[in-house]
Amino acid sequence: MSGDERSRLLGAAVDDALADALGEVAASVRGGRVADYIPELADADPDGFGVSIASVLGRVYGAGDVAAEFTIQSASKPFVYAFASDELGGEAVHRRVGVEPSGEPFNAISLDAQGRPENPFINAGAIVTTSLVPAADADERFARIRDALSRFAGRELDLDDEVYRSEAVTGHRNRALAGLALAVGSLATADVDSATDPYFRQCSLVVTTEDLALMGATLANGGVHPLTRDRVVSERAARDTLSVMATCGMYDRSGAWAFRVGMPAKSGVGGGIVAVRPGEFGVGVYSPPLDEAGNSLRGVAMLEALSDRFGLHMFDHTRVPTSPVGEASVDRETRTVTLALRGELDFLAAEQAVHDAGRLVLHVDARALRLDFTDVTLITAVAEQLLRTTAAAAEEAGLDVEFPGAPQGFDRGIG
């Protein structure tokens, strides 16, 4: 069997697993109500149901109505927040909007003691976040937001003009929330329309489940799109966004979501949900009927099923970590200990390597230590710090230390 055939076989297995889960949820979960407070959304097909998964390695899988188009609505909020944080820095953003769960509906009037909206995912906070995107006027602000969200999706996203006009005509509460934010000094624009008009348009961008999955995978991949390899936002902005998604993304059901599903996520009243398994993949789900909190009823059930079936909860930890030491050897004549490190070195891997190095150095009364990085594919900042500190301590104890294959500058400040 060729490599391509094996790849297609494995891809089909993932698609089949998704199809099985989707079929079970479709058969067992009924009810919900399609959003109608924005008139154009009321026309959505209540039977539409699809799911896509995109890995950080660039592979995409799906089942159901993966080609169905719908407006992104509030699932846009994490990506605008990430964009604003990357443009201005997190501190500047959080001078105007907080990060605490509100425990209230998405359209609630919710301000903290400093006069800020509680978080960037309730409507008041999202409008403030949109207002923070640097631009000369509303048109330029939306153009910049559209470009950013398109880069997250890996393709240019279209605007649904009819949904936009419907939102603009009926968006009185959102304008009131923006007016309140302006009154307390949180809004970054001088007038309400400069913030709300781009906000209505960002919510009216058209996506599919595959788009949402790739957008989520970009956050999972530290801000780098897994297909285009475009760095859309910084690693810090991606991390901060996932943190707020984990605690605030599902409105007043965020606690139950964290307990049952355990993945950072954000829903939209168009029926979409984007969820993220950090470092692994993004998930996009679509089903228009909503629960009482404004989240897709079957979308929530689908992600609960995937989390339970495939062990995706962020607090699941059933895997035994692979040793970061591919081979450990001792040259008895020179009393040199060599550790051949391998794979991805994070805190746990570096801690294990340090432990092994210390044990062997003491066991043979070593004179030299070699940390061989030739087969290392990635090293995190904390792992590099641990290994540098270990190397410095070894030199201070009188050992000769070498680092074949080490990252450039690894030996700076050692010796």
What secondary structure does DSSP assign to 100-168, as a single string? S---S-TT---B-TTS-BS-TTSHHHHHHHHHHS--SSHHHHHHHHHHHHHHHHTSPPPB-HHHHHHHH
pTM higher than 0.85: no
pLDDT at 387 over 80: yes
Catalytic residue, chosen from 93, 199, 266, 300, is 199
Give the strand pairing for 70-71 and 206-207: antiparallel
Catalytic residue, chosen from 224, 269, 274, 401, is 269
Query: Which pLDDT tens digit goes with each residue over 132-168?
Result: 999 999 999 999 999 999 999 999 999 999 999 998 9
pLDDT at 14 over 70: yes
Look up tokens 């081979």; give the residue.
Answer: 327
In terms of Cβ atoms closer than 10 Å to its own Cβ (0-12, 13-18, 19+), residue 165 is middle
Q: How is the chain split into domains, by residue range?
A: 11-310, 325-402
Catalytic residue, chosen from 51, 61, 76, 77, is 77
The confidence band for 6, taking pLDDT boundaries of 50, 70 and 90, is: very low
User: CA angle, 376 as apex, 323 and 228 as ends, to 5°?
Assistant: 120
Query: Which pLDDT tens digit goes with each residue over 49-64?
Result: 999 999 998 889 999 9
Whether 186 is catalytic is: no
pLDDT at position 99, please? 85
Whether 74 is catalytic is: yes
Catalytic residue, chosen from 52, 55, 74, 131, is 74
The confidence band for 264, taking pLDDT boundaries of 50, 70 and 90, is: very high
Count of residues in the chain: 415
Look up tokens 């699809």; give the residue.
Answer: 50
Catalytic residue, chosen from 61, 81, 164, 251, is 251
pLDDT at position 57, please? 86
Calculated CA dihedral for residues 155, 160, 165, 167, nearest 10 degrees:
-70
Q: Tokens for 132, please give them.
A: 């923070």
Whether 2 is catalytic is: no
Q: How far apart are the first and last CA of the chain?
A: 53
Q: Which of 407, 415, 399, 401 is nearest to 374 (CA)?
A: 407
Q: Where are the alpha helices (DSSP H) in 320-380?
A: 347-364
Please state the rounded mean pLDDT for residues 286-301.
93
CATH architecture of structural domain 325-402? 2-Layer Sandwich (3.30)
The confidence band for 13, taking pLDDT boundaries of 50, 70 and 90, is: low
Q: Tokens for 203, please give them.
A: 């919510």
Whether 261 is catalytic is: no
Query: What's the distance, CA 173 to chain centroid?
Result: 29
Whether 93 is catalytic is: no
- Fold of the domain spanning 11-310: Beta-lactamase (3.40.710)
Q: Which of 299, 260, 271, 282 is nearest to 75 (CA)?
A: 271
The confidence band for 106, taking pLDDT boundaries of 50, 70 and 90, is: low
The answer to whether domain 11-310 and domain 325-402 are alike in fold is no
Distance CA 273, CA 304 (A): 12
**CA dist list (Å): 177 to 62, 107, 109, 147, 281:** 38, 8, 7, 26, 34
What secondary structure does DSSP assign to 267-314, as a single string? E-TTSEEEEEETTTEEEEEE---B-TTSSBHHHHHHHHHHHHHHT--T
